[in-house]
Amino acid sequence: MKIKEIIEMSTDELLTKKRDLRQESLHLRLQQQSGQIEQPSRLRLLRRDVARIETILSSRKNQKNGKK
């Protein structure tokens, strides 16, 4: 997911997307533990997407509170 796409999403959409990505990450980790994971690189991409979303959410929260 591109950062531009994330910035254009609303806060509610970001929270939903974050929840969905974390859920997918959990399922992939379970597959990894059982040795059935097909794309191990997908875990890394999910972690990065969650981090991007959290960064945008925290920056919006700081702007809302009057911080830079």
Tell me the pTM: 0.88
DSSP 10: -
**Domains of the chain: which residue ranges?**
3-64
Q: Is the dihedral of CA 68, 22, 37, 30 positive or negative?
A: positive
Yes or no: say if 53 and 14 are a contact pair by the CB < 8 Å rule: yes
pLDDT tens readout for residues 5-59: 999 999 999 999 999 999 999 999 999 999 998 999 999 999 999 999 999 999 9
Nearest CA to 1 out of 30, 42, 62, 29 is that of 42
Architecture of 3-64 per CATH? Orthogonal Bundle (1.10)
Burial bucket for residue 46 (CB in 10 Å: 0-12, 13-18, 19+)? buried
